[in-house]
Amino acid sequence: MGEAISALSTVTQADLDGALTGAFAPFSGRLRRDPDPAACTLQELGRSGVLADALAAFADAHPGCERPAVASLWSAYLFAGLIAPALAAGARLGRDLPLGSLHLAPATGLPATAHLAQEFAWPAPLPAQVDRLLAESVAPVIRSLRAETGLSTRLLWENAGGHLFWTLSEIRRENPDRAGEVTEALRALRWPREACSALTLMRADAVAGREPPRRRVCCLRHGLPGSSHCEGVCPLLRRTGESG
């Protein structure tokens, strides 16, 4: 217990906020060191009804839109809030920052803050941070989203993968001293079995330097009024004439 408290005390809220700069500045203040009574653990998100309420609130803000497209868009906000701040701050601080819970804003249904598990802050290289985040945070959320929305597992993993590979690319751009760790994380990346085919293909694009990595399943964004297919990424465009 003493070692856990010591590890906890080595990272302050100011450290977390200060680590989120540049492209990650919008997340400053949204990665929280202390727990929040209003937050729900990632494992309980689907079982508690919090996820259903959040999706309903978000759908209310998009009347007339196709529900699968709204759910997919909501998941993209969620993955951004989970992946980008945890890995960006973890890379800057050189510490594993596992997530414990998430606070969703009742009015909008969108992620407001992500809260670190209390056993966080152990020194860890970036590849280990990525592996733990995917296995312990992203995977259970995807299982809950799959059960709640009916969206395919592959679509959800590709939504998560887009934010994962963007985050790693920005970490390398903003922290040149960690470029080697980013390359290692890409090449040695492990992930839960259900994510294998989705992330393997996106990872191949990322290793080859293609930004953003191409999708193999459409994210359904075109189902939202005023939105279109994602140029250079959407597989539906490649099927109708783009080279892939």
Q: DSSP secondary structure string, 165-184?
A: HHHHHHHHHH-GGGHHHHHH
DSSP 224-236: STT----TTT-HH
Checking DSSP bridges between strand 31-32 and strand 111-116, what pairing results, if any?
Answer: parallel
CB atoms within 10 A of CB 88: 27
Q: What is the pLDDT along the chain (244 residues), one digit of tens a residue?
A: 344 444 545 789 999 999 999 999 999 999 999 989 999 999 898 888 999 999 999 989 888 788 888 899 999 999 999 999 999 999 999 999 999 999 999 999 999 999 998 776 788 999 999 999 999 999 999 999 999 999 999 999 999 999 999 999 999 998 888 888 898 888 877 777 777 777 888 888 888 888 888 878 876 676 566 665 566 566 665 554 443 3
Residue among 158, 168, 167, 160 nearest 235 (CA)? 158
- Please give the span between the terminal C-alpha atoms of the chain, in angstroms, as a whole number: 53
pTM: 0.87
Asked whether 217 and 239 are in contact (CB, 8 A), the reply is no
